[in-house]
């Protein structure tokens, strides 16, 4: 069975490609390399011993995408990872975000409609949830987005739900990821953002290898156990497994319809938990200073993944120590020379 990955050379897509190939599916990747490197393709092949189809195209280029569907008339499912994901950049360049993240989805759905592809799994985010006093977040909780990036995720969810509403024989699974960190055990795949990272674990890793001096902890006066922000960090390989489980569901149950699942661990860790665990498992490498709050941040956010566990058998198994160890291993391999 052939699965089309959009954005399949990126951080989450590449880890998912490895797991999906290892489960015996065929994989075709399309990626425009706007936030990834072509070398990742060889790494995926090397780690799995499998061949992988690849097109360097922009999903917003409808003609180029159509060629992929023409040349692969047997695409069983699409996993749609392609998109821009930096919140701050989305505030500065809203049109760029709306264009890329929305037009890519419109084009994909048009092609699925035309070439009779009946399954799509979409990369959504915990960011679609409205602020809540109640934790853990369940899939039925109110939704609201506070920045252009978040709105593209929310709008995409609506577009996919509306599409499924009139294409009842199409299965749509929206996966709301919490905070993916960690890297493949081989140390060959991982996350390596350009420039100074915005997100916590990439920043910590760059401090650990000496590329940045120290971590600024954004606020220690939140309503949490130690005052620092609490999030639901999930190992990217566990997250990848969530996609395998979603694919297996639509294989098993062709009448799945619309499903929405949180992918998290259900456990919240604070910024200081992360720093302390990182230092415990990797050696005392990360110094930090308490700094001002980052605008827009919330006290805590963690998932209920009960629904995904009950309906698709998803359960995160890796520990925070695994996440810290593998993130650092990958960063060491990618240390700027
Ligand atoms: P990433 O940037 O590493 O991967 C995205 C990939 O898509 C990149 O390889 C990029 O080159 C490609 N791409 C972007 N626009 C494209 C286009 N128009 N045509 C073809 N390729 C295109 O990001 P990631 O962390 O792997 O995230 C994957 C998806 O998951 C994104 O949609 C993101 O919004 C979503 N998500 C990520 C996180 C996170 O924390 N990483 C959390 C929630 C949701
Ligand atoms: C980020 C995204 C959000 C996405 C979510 C899940 C931003 C602004 N938001 O949110 O859209 O849905 O990931 O992937 O990018 N922190 C520091 N110092 C740092 C960096 C972060 O103290 O240098 C703290 C933050 O205040 C927060 C925690 O670490 O409490 C996690 O931050 P981050 O990794 O950016 O993730 P989120 O804020 O959850």
Give the DSSP per-residue string, 46-70: HHHT---EEE---TT-HHHHHHHHH
Q: Please, are residues 191 and 266 in contact by the beta-carbon 8 Å criterion?
A: no
Mutate to test the pocket of ligand 2, among 148, 217, 231, 287 (most ligand atoms within 8 A of CB): 231
| DSSP state string for 170-231 | SEEEEEEE-EEE---TTSSS----SSS--SHHHHHHHHHTTSSS-EEEE-S-SSSSSSS-EE
CA 275 – CA 285 distance, rounded (Å)? 9
Q: What is the pLDDT of residue 194?
A: 81
Q: What is the pLDDT of residue 68?
A: 98
Nearest CA owner, ligand 2 atom 20: 200
Q: Which domains does the chain have, with CATH numbers?
A: 2-180+233-263 (3.40.50.720), 200-231+266-333 (3.90.25.10)
pLDDT digits (tens, 9 = 90+) for 156-191: 999 999 999 999 999 999 999 999 999 999 999 999
Residues of the chain falling short of pLDDT 70: 336-337
Reading the block at residue 282, the tokens are: 């990797």
Q: What is the pLDDT of residue 336?
A: 65
pTM for this model (two decimals): 0.98
Find out whether the beta carbon of 190 lies less than 6 Å from any atom of ligand 1: no
Q: What is the pLDDT of residue 334?
A: 85
Residue 42: how many other CB atoms lie within 10 Å: 11
CA 119 – CA 159 distance, rounded (Å)? 15
Mutate to test the pocket of ligand 1, among 5, 6, 8, 10 (most ligand atoms within 8 A of CB): 10
Find out whether the beta carbon of 127 lies less than 6 Å from any atom of ligand 2: yes
| Helical axes 62-71 vs 104-114, angle rounded to 10° | 40
Q: Please, are residues 235 and 316 in contact by the beta-carbon 8 Å criterion?
A: yes
Residue 330: how many other CB atoms lie within 10 Å: 21
Atom of ligand 1 minimally distant from the CA of 149: 34
Q: Residue 9 Cα, ligand 1 centroid: separation in angstroms?
A: 9
């Amino acid at each position: 069975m052939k699965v089309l990955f959009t954005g399949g050379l990126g951080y989450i897509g590449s880890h998912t490609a490895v797991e999906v190939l290892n489960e015996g599916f065929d994989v075709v990747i399309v990626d425009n390399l706007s936030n990834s490197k072509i070398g990742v393709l060889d790494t995926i092949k090397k780690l799995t011993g499998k061949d992988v189809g690849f097109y360097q195209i922009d999903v917003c280029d409808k003609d180029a995408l159509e060629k992929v569907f023409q040349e692969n008339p047997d695409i069983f499912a699409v996993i749609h990872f392609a998109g821009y994901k930096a919140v701050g950049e989305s505030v500065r360049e809203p049109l760029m975000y709306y264009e890329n993240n929305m037009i890519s989805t419109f084009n994909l759905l048009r092609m699925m409609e035309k070439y009779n592809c009946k399954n799509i799994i979409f990369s959504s985010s915990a960011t679609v949830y409205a602020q809540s006093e109640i934790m853990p977040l369940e899939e039925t909780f109110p939704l609201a987005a506070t920045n252009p990036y978040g709105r593209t995720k929310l709008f995409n969810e609506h577009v996919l739900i509306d599409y499924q509403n009139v294409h009842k024989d199409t299965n749509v699974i929206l996966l709301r990821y919490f905070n993916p960190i960690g890297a493949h055990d081989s140390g060959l795949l991982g996350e390596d953002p350009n420039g100074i990272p915005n997100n916590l674990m990439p920043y910590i890793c760059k401090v650990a290898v000496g590329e940045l001096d120290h971590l600024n902890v954004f606020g220690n006066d939140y309503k949490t156990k130690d005052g620092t922000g609490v999030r639901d960090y999930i190992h990217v390989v566990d997250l990848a497994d969530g996609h395998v489980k979603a694919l297996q569901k639509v294989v098993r149950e062709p009448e799945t319809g619309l499903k929405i699942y949180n992918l998290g661990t259900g456990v919240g860790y604070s910024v200081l938990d992360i720093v302390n665990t990182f230092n415990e498992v990797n050696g005392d490498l990360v110094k930090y200073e308490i700094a001002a709050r980052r605008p827009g941040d919330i006290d805590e956010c963690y998932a209920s993944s009960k629904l995904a566990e009950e309906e698709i058998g998803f359960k995160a198994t890796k520990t925070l120590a695994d996440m810290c160890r593998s993130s650092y291993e990958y960063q060491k391999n990618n240390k700027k020379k």
